[in-house]
Structure 1
Amino acid sequence: MPNQNAKQLVKDLQPFKGAIESAHRLLTWEKKYYPGLLFVGISLIYATFWYLDLSVITILFLLVFAVNMFNHLLPTISRWLGNALDWDALHDVRFEHICEQIYSFKENWAAWVQYLFNERMSAGLVTMISLILLAFAWIGANVDNCLLMYVVTLLIAIWASLKYNLNDGGYKSKLKTFIKKQLQI
């Protein structure tokens, strides 16, 4: 049974359901050419940043501008994508499952942050976290920031698909069970 907060998230994201469904299919590599499409898209964006050699403040303002335009245009694009998908009960169930995953990630992230900042940690854990952060700081000081962000963006983009495709069908079988259960209700 879905959480009440997850149901509220489903209601809140209704205008964006076509875009969310399409992004989920892209990020989980539903088609064989999607990994290449992701790689080329991310590479083109970072190649443009590298070529233009913009200042940090300009990149931040362009990012805010892009988010603003994206927020304004996404409902229209989402309706267009939703109509292209011939939305049916299966797509609704997938959308609800995606929203539950988003809410679950949010809850896990909040619990992890609360643990880090509210719990008394052992000296060994503090030392390990400090060494990891120092290593990242050293890498950040010695490697170009644009290259680091490019690599991090690629890793984030493929993380969902790696979990999905390397799970030996565990996620797929969970999704199939979830869909069957939802369609029976």
Structure 2
Amino acid sequence: MTAEQEKRVKELKRELECWREEVLALNSVLAWEKHWYPWLLIGISTTLFTFLWYLDMSVLSTVAVACLVVTAVDYLGPIARTSICARDSWSGAKERQLEDVCRALARTEHQVLSCWKSRQSIKAAWPHLYVVVEVIGLACLAYIGYTVNNMFLSYLLVTTALMLPGLKHSGFLCKLSSDVKTTFSSSIKMKKN
């Protein structure tokens, strides 16, 4: 990691100091450290979206309720943790786990920023190609949004986002990308012959 990324890791550790136990528990669930965690994530997502579908709230009401829940958790979380967890339960192993989580977050943040910079450089180098690709991509997204229920699309997006860390941690994404690359390269070789 670069010095800038190490600095970001230290900043993240400082920012997450109040929530370190919760961060480790959330990381454990998102990384699928137990075989039933993926099903738990899907169940939570399905229950949440079924509840939202049943209530049929407006967007403003949904945002307000979500902000209320976040505020309540932000206020009550540390209070509940001090009464449940012992102060001396934090160990060196947990500190290393927290640092690993912060490193992963810093890496992900760096990857997102580098993708954005790549997009900007493509925009500067090939503006016409950029516009064509953006227009086609956004038109496809608009068509999908028009034909498929918004609640279902949101459900798929949130569930996929919840599953991605576990898929990456288990190595499934690397295997899938290598299989796609192999298939793509072999199909190109077959076309050349």
CA distance 1:121–1:46, shift in 2 (3 Å)? farther
User: What is aligned with 1:159?
Assistant: 164
User: What is aligned with 1:144?
Assistant: 149
Contact 1:19 1:82 (8 Å CA) reproduced:
no
Aligned 1:96-175 pairs, distance under 5 A: 96-117=99-120, 120-122=124-126, 123-166=128-171
Give unmatched runs, 5+ long, in structure 1: 170-185
User: What is aligned with 2:37?
Assistant: 34
CA distance 1:166–1:5, shift in 2 (3 Å)? closer
Give unmatched runs, 5+ long, in structure 2: 175-193
CA distance 1:71–1:127, shift in 2 (3 Å)? same
- The structure with more radius of gyration: 2
For 1:27 and 1:115, the matched residues in 2 are separated by 28
Contact 1:18 1:79 (8 Å CA) reproduced:
no
1:124 deviates by 2.6
Contact 2:30 2:162 (8 Å CA) reproduced:
yes
User: What is aligned with 1:46?
Assistant: 49
RMSD: 2.7
Identity, % of aligned pairs? 21
In the alignment, is residue 56 of structure 1 matched against residue 66 of structure 2?
no
Equivalenced residue count is: 170
For 1:72 and 1:153, the matched residues in 2 are separated by 25
Contact 1:29 1:161 (8 Å CA) reproduced:
yes
1:93 deviates by 0.4
Q: 1:154 corresponds to which letter in structure 2? A: T
CA distance 1:81–1:29, shift in 2 (3 Å)? farther
1:43 deviates by 0.5
For 1:25 and 1:136, the matched residues in 2 are separated by 33
Contact 1:10 1:99 (8 Å CA) reproduced:
yes
For 2:145 and 2:56, the matched residues in 1 are separated by 18
For 1:71 and 1:22, the matched residues in 2 are separated by 16
Normalising by structure 2, we get a TM-score of 0.77
For 2:80 and 2:102, the matched residues in 1 are separated by 19
User: What is aligned with 1:94?
Assistant: 97
CA distance 1:140–1:11, shift in 2 (3 Å)? same
